[in-house]
Amino acid sequence: MIRQALAGLVDWAYGVGWWAHALTAGGSPDAFTEPGPDTAHHTPLVLLPGIWERWQYLEPLARTLHGYGHPVHFVPALGSNGAPLDASARVVADFLAERGLTEVMLVAHSKGGLIGKLVMLDPDAGARVCGMVALSTPFGGSSLAWPVFRRSPLGVFSPRGRPILDLSAQRDVNARIVSLLPTHDQVIPEGSKLAGARNVTLEVGGHFRPLRDVGVHRAIHDAVHELEKERP
């Protein structure tokens, strides 16, 4: 328990440090939208960050996935991703339509997976999405979303809140989702297992550090590839 607690503190420090870096980072959100050299992996990917994570937070992951050949898209209009789930899902749906993107795979971290599932459930936007790979997503909420946070953006993660309950009740798209579970996650003590989805336990722990782990990047790529093979 002590070791996991210390690991959790290190993970929090890492997450905050990278958040600060991403807050001031430059670069272009369209830097990775051209297909890479490997024509076997040209499925477009749309990356969805977690709460209070700007698109730059996922740039290291985007760089790796683009190296495999995928065109990778960010959704800058999400901003710091603190809006309610339905509003964020509408931003992503509009982005897909404006870019004319079809047969897309969503790659999400934390809250991004909840947004992604809502997009997949949308009759119009969902038709543009083949599947989703979600890392550390609180599909069942998190017990750390205490009642005091109910009126804050963190209230969306309440296990008994309407957003989580409504999403949990809708399972039509779960079979097209791969949920990647760290060995332990101090932000989601209950874990991120999703009923009806393909749940894969990783060999690393933490909520934030897996985003920079090359082995996790490979696992995300492999999960995308498996979903590619299963699409009609």
CA-based nearest residue to 72, from 116, 25, 32, 110: 32
Q: Which two tokens stand for residue 178?
A: 């791969």
For residue 150, the model assigns a pLDDT of 64
Phi/psi of residue 139, nearest 5 degrees: -60, -30
Q: Which residue has the higher pLDDT, 102 or 18?
A: 102
Nearest-10 crossing angle of helices 111-121, 85-99 = 60
Residue 61 scores a pLDDT above 60: yes
For residue 151, the model assigns a pLDDT of 61
Q: DSSP assignment, residue 176?
A: G
Please report, for residues 99, 108, 110, 227, 232, the alpha-carbon distance to residue 180 in angstroms, rounded to integers and kept in the order given. 28, 10, 10, 14, 23
Distance, CA of 154 to CA of 207 (rounded, Å): 16
CA-based nearest residue to 92, from 46, 127, 123: 46
Residue type, 29: P
Q: Three-class SS of residue 200?
A: strand
* Contacts within 8 Å (CB) and 24+ apart, 51-54: 51/81, 51/82, 51/110, 51/111, 51/153, 51/154, 51/156, 52/19, 52/80, 52/81, 52/82, 52/153, 53/19, 53/22, 53/80, 53/81, 53/109, 53/110, 53/112, 54/22, 54/23, 54/79, 54/80, 54/81
Residue 192 scores a pLDDT above 90: yes
Distance, CA of 114 to CA of 139 (rounded, Å): 7
Q: Which residue has the higher pLDDT, 19 or 30?
A: 30
Q: Which two tokens stand for residue 195?
A: 């009923």
Q: Tokens 């001031």 — which residue?
A: 24
Q: Tokens 């999405």 — which residue?
A: 129
Q: What's the whole-number average pLDDT of the chain?
A: 90
Residue 230 scores a pLDDT above 80: yes
Q: For 139-171, how does the pLDDT look when each residue is reduced to its tens digit (9 = 90+)? A: 999 988 766 456 667 788 899 989 999 999 999
Which of 52-66, 109-123, 134-148, 205-219 comes out lowest in average pLDDT?
134-148
